Chain A
Amino acid sequence: MADTLLAIRGLSKRFGGLLASDRIDLDVARGETHAIIGPNGAGKTTLIGQLAGDLRPDSGSIHFAGQDVTRLDAPHRARRGLARSFQVTSIFREFSALDNVTLAVQAHAGRSFRFWRSARSEPALREPARAALEAVGLGARADVLAARLAHGEQRQLEIAMALATEPRMLLLDEPVAGMGLDESQKMVRFLAMLRRRITIVLVEHDMDAVFTLADRISVMVYGRIIATGTPSEVRGSDDVRRAYLGEDRA
């Protein structure tokens, strides 16, 4: 791979008797959209958690943009350009949509030990936040309380927050889960627009989304990556079919 942004080596994580990550090796190239699929309980979310810095691996290493980030916590990784969305929507519910994104811009800008000036009156925070909301199609909903947004809009808001931190990589944990057909198609179209510009690691059960978006796909079963390849390679693999696609295609 010419230009590797994320390099995972020998990553293992055990929860009691369950080996959730079993010596995972994975490279993600800059600009690539890499989907991770697999049956429930395969360890996909555990892997995302370790990449984001919420979970400590028992062994192995994670290099991001050439630097070892294995021991960095989540905020530090976020500041280095690893942004994420959660499997269960995670937003600041008591704040407006615009405030949510403003906070993300502020987190990215650093310098939050400022005590006097109103953060809401700072164009340097507000304007990029508005732009990110427009980008995901929430421009007209800027002043709505995040808790009052529809489910699909909340997922879009999460993406807007991630984008507002100007990330080098997006970690998306089931971005279209729980969405209606319309919403989910809108989200896939939007993510397709981001391809190439931002490197994306995507966990998703919706196979239409995966095969539309992914440059490469890794298949996880029981904590191990059993296959990595282009969508057509993965679709054609008998191992994968047996392990996964057959049973979960619905």
Chain B
Amino acid sequence: MAISRRTLALVAGGALLALVPPIAALTNQPFYLDLFRRMMIFAIAAVSLDLILGYGGMVSFGHAAYLGIGAYAVGIPAFHGVDNGWLQWGLAIAASALAAAVIGAVSLRTSGVSFIMITLAFAQMLYYLGISLETYGGDNGMRLAGRSRFGGPIDLREPAVFYYVVLAILVLLLTLGNRLVASRFGMVIRAARSNEVRARAIGFSPFRYKLTAFVIAGGAGGLAGALLANQTEYLTPDFMHWTRSGEIMFMVILGGMGTLFGPVIGAVVLLLLEDVLSALTTHWQIILGPILILVVLFAKRGLFGLVAGAETRDG
């Protein structure tokens, strides 16, 4: 069997990401290490959203909520002197998964516009909750007391080490995600997206499968938040603002919904565009907007569809 364009694209992309730290070191441009780490953190958030948006048809417009919960799950313990990373990140995943369980249990009883609005409303509630936390900086947010500590060679204060930790998590998430969407479980949520009435008629009760997917996506989003807090060494309620949710959704759509790898490209390209365009003009979103519209109109499977070819899609 010939090597497909898709495989080629994945290998090339992986190699490129793995080579960023040595290249940044050689060219003495530590800025790129920082930028690509940030891209990968948003890629993790976008991939987790793609699991429910692209495969489950759940248009969650509040995914930034988990980013915020994850960030605060690192920041609040750090503020109180608890800097154990296993504990912080574990808390980030557990707290955001729990929040997703509550949000999902309510919102998944609806569909369409109601679903979008309810997920948005929950995220905004959490945003205002963040603002009301005066102890932790209120709407100004607060500095992170220090990066999460794991002991041994995993020292996140080393930029390259932190970089490879993020890359490893991204690769792990993509691997697990790829198994998941092809598994029995994944087939149920994809079937329910394709035709819920038919899925019910053959005997699937989609609600619990969708809720489980929603919780998994929330937990992964929370982990992205924990990474983001370490990345910026600062956390603010802005992590949870609805425009942030919109940005993550753009990454998924731009990269290609229901492709898992596409959102990684989406995150890289969106943040790159932001970086390049905002250097040109303060009104950079005027240029970004039309680009997004063109991609949505003409690249049905997003940028990943352009790179990997159209043959990969089913369900």
Contacts and interface: CB of A to CB of B under 8 A. Distances in A.
A114 B185 contact: yes
Nearest to A108: B203
B20 to A, nearest CB: 31
Contacts of A165: 202-203
Interface string B193-210: 011011111111100010
A107 interface: yes
Contacts of B185: 112-115
Nearest to A125: B184
A86 B212 CA distance: 29
A103 B212 contact: no
A91 B198 contact: yes
B183 A118 contact: yes
B202 A83 contact: yes
Nearest to B195: A92
A108 B194 contact: no
Interface stretch (A23-31, A74-82, A234-242): A74-82
A162 B201 CA distance: 9
A40 interface: no
A95 B194 contact: yes
Given A92-B195, A113-B185, A119-B182, A107 B202 contact: yes
A161 interface: yes
Contacts of B191: 92, 95, 103
A111 B187 CA distance: 12
B256 interface: no
Instruction: Find the residue from B180, B184, B203 having the highest chain A CB count within 10 A.
Output: B203
Contacts of B201: 52, 74-75, 78, 83-84, 86, 90
B200 A74 contact: yes
A15 interface: no
A250 to B, nearest CB: 31
A112 B195 contact: no
Nearest to B191: A103
B204 A94 contact: no
Contact of A119 (B187, B195, B200, B204): B187
Instruction: Find the residue from B199, B201, B212, B314 having the highest chain A CB count within 10 A.
Output: B201
Contact of B194 (A74, A94, A107, A115): A94
B315 interface: yes
A230 interface: no
A104 interface: yes
A75 B192 CA distance: 12
Interface string B164-189: 00000000000000011011111110
Contacts of B184: 106, 111-114, 117, 119, 122, 125
Contacts of B198: 86, 90-92, 161
A197 interface: no
A17 to B, nearest CB: 27
Contact of A107 (B203, B212, B314): B203
B183 A75 contact: no
A9 interface: no
Nearest to B178: A118
A95 B201 CA distance: 17
Interface of A: 52, 54, 73-76, 78-79, 83-84, 86, 90-96, 99, 102-104, 106-108, 111-120, 122, 125, 145, 161-162, 164-165
Given A94-B315, A112-B204, 7 more contacts: A92-B195, A108-B203, A113-B184, A115-B185, A116-B180, A117-B183, A165-B203
Interface of B: 179-180, 182-188, 190-191, 194-195, 197-205, 209, 212, 313-315
28 contacts: A75-B200, A75-B204, A78-B201, A83-B201, A84-B201, A86-B197, A86-B198, A90-B197, A90-B198, A91-B195, A92-B194, A92-B315, A94-B313, A94-B314, A95-B191, A95-B194, A99-B314, A103-B191, A106-B188, A107-B199, A108-B202, A114-B183, A114-B184, A115-B185, A116-B183, A118-B179, A119-B186, A145-B314
Shortest beta-carbon contacts, A-B, top 3: A78-B203, A107-B203, A107-B202
